[in-house]
């Protein structure tokens, strides 16, 4: 593995580096993931009626929206975990439902919102499973697999718990193990559904910084669902705001996030001011009560 992939925590040259690089590295191939007129649902009515969505290659896309608006449903369809009732998802122009599963798994990795681990599995074994798409019938496990797993554990701060059972971990530890597994898959497109839920604030920033590193240094395409609007504005090159199964705004956070949008998406009054650290929009909610 090239050393650039190894986790690094060098002293920053300035107190805070720009978090949304103007010129992220170009992806090695087009990595164009696109949903065309998607109609998505489960048993009853459609959740998503007619959604066209592009995940821009080589960028960090963040999806935001109220609970139950269809973010996870959309992400799952883009990763072929959910079959569309109508429309299609294409990767580089080819319908993903026609691609062999293992081939697709080398291109798109997804960390679902509520993944489930086999009972009793250890951290190391779970992360090793991320390498499955890379294994050949004639050669099961390679030094490269070993290196990538070690890197993924290190990058997520889970190396020291590698021998523990996943179901004995805290919520935040478990979340980082799942992120390690997704990283071990080494896909050009990485989708993560609320990866920072359960994480303390330090680990939230670590995970998002790691995504920036993967994007900048390797040109990986990242699509992530976040509930923290301020972190979404800091880390997204491209922000997609959803409401009731539709995209109601998308673009660079500074161009689209304002008090009207926050109210339209969340039904919440707020003040939007510049984040003093990143200068990106910072949403300060106005509740009904103050302590004083
Ligand atoms: N497996 C399922 N079976 C039936 N309905 C489902 C299923 N998963 C989700 N839904 C429904 O689809 C709608 C959209 O859910 P989805 O999980 O996409 O929302 P979300 O935007 O990710 O919300 P959250 O922020 O709470 O994660 C909800 O009404 C939900 O109840
Ligand atoms: Mg969800």
Binding site membership of 69 for ligand 1 (Cβ less than 6 Å): yes
For 144-186, the pLDDT digits (tens) are 999 999 999 999 999 999 999 999 999 999 999 999 999 999 9
Mean pLDDT of 104-122: 94
Q: Which residues of 229-252 are buried (b: 16+ CB within 10 A; e: fewer)?
A: bbbbbbbbbbbbbbbebebebbee
Residues 6+ apart with CB under 8 A from 150: 159
Atom of ligand 1 nearest to the CA of 73: 18
CA separation for the pair 209, 16 (Å, rounded): 11
Q: Which two tokens stand for residue 40?
A: 């998505």
Binding site membership of 185 for ligand 1 (Cβ less than 6 Å): no
Nearest to 189 by CA among 80, 1, 32, 3: 32
- Contact criterion met (CB below 8 Å) for 282 and 274: yes
Angle between helices 201-218 and 171-184 (to 10 degrees): 10
Q: Which residues of 90-105 are buried (b: 16+ CB within 10 A; e: fewer)?
A: bbeeeebeebeeeebb
Q: Which ligand is closest in space to the CA of residue 66?
A: 1
- What pLDDT sits at residue 30? 62
For 76-98, the pLDDT digits (tens) are 999 999 999 999 999 999 999 99
- With a cut of 80, say whether residue 14 has pLDDT above it: no
Binding site membership of 238 for ligand 1 (Cβ less than 6 Å): no
C-alpha angle with apex 82: 76 to 86, nearest 5 degrees?
110
Collapsing DSSP to helix, strand or coil, 171 comes out as helix
Q: Which two tokens stand for residue 213?
A: 């590193």
- What pLDDT sits at residue 132? 86
CA separation for the pair 188, 228 (Å, rounded): 25
Binding site membership of 156 for ligand 1 (Cβ less than 6 Å): no
Query: What is the distance in A from the centroid of ligand 2 to the CA of 113?
Result: 6
Q: Return contacts of 206-211, CB within 8 angstroms, 24+ apart.
A: 206/157, 207/156, 207/176, 207/179, 208/234, 208/235, 209/19, 210/7, 210/155, 210/156, 210/183, 211/60, 211/235
DSSP 219-247: --EEEEE-S-HHHHHHH-SEEEEEETTEE
For 188-237, the pLDDT digits (tens) are 999 999 999 989 999 999 899 999 999 999 899 999 999 999 999 999 99
Mean pLDDT of 16-44: 69
- With a cut of 70, say whether residue 26 has pLDDT above it: no
Instruction: Give, for 263, the enclosing helix (H) or strand (E).
Output: helix 259-266
Mean pLDDT of 41-46: 94
Mean pLDDT of 124-141: 85
- With a cut of 80, say whether residue 238 has pLDDT above it: yes
Given ligand 1 and candidates 62, 64, 68, which is best to mutate, with the most ligand atoms within 8 Å of its CB?
A: 68
Q: What does pLDDT average to over the chain?
A: 89
- Contact criterion met (CB below 8 Å) for 188 and 30: no
């Amino acid at each position: 593995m090239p050393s650039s992939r190894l986790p690094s925590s060098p002293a920053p040259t300035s107190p805070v580096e720009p978090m949304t690089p103007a010129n992220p590295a170009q992806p090695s191939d087009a990595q164009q993931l696109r949903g065309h007129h998607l109609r998505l649902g489960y048993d009853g009515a459609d959740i998503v009626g007619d959604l066209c969505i592009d995940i821009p290659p080589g960028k960090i896309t963040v999806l935001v929206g109220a609970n139950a608006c269809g973010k996870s449903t959309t992400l799952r369809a883009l990763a072929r975990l959910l079959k569309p009732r109508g429309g299609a998802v294409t990767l580089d122009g080819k319908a993903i439902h026609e691609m062999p599963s293992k081939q697709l798994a080398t291109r798109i990795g997804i960390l679902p919102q509520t993944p489930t681990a086999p009972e009793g599995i250890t951290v190391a074994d779970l992360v090793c499973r991320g390498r499955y798409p890379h294994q050949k019938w004639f050669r099961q496990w390679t030094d490269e697999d070993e290196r990538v797993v070690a890197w993924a554990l290190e990058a997520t701060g889970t190396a020291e718990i590698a021998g523990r059972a996943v179901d004995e971990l805290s919520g935040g530890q478990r979340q980082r193990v799942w992120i390690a597994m997704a990283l071990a898959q080494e896909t050009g497109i990485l989708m993560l559904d609320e990866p920072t839920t359960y994480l303390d604030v330090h680990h939230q920033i670590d995970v998002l910084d790691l995504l920036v590193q993967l994007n900048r240094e390797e040109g990986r395409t990242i699509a992530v669902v976040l509930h923290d609007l301020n972190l979404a504005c800091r880390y997204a090159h491209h922000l997609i705001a959803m409401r009731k199964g539709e995209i109601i705004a998308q673009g660079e956070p500074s161009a689209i996030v304002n008090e009207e949008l926050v109210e339209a998406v969340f039904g919440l009054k707020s003040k939007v001011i510049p984040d003093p650290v990143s200068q990106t929009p910072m949403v300060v909610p106005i509740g009904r009560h103050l302590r004083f």
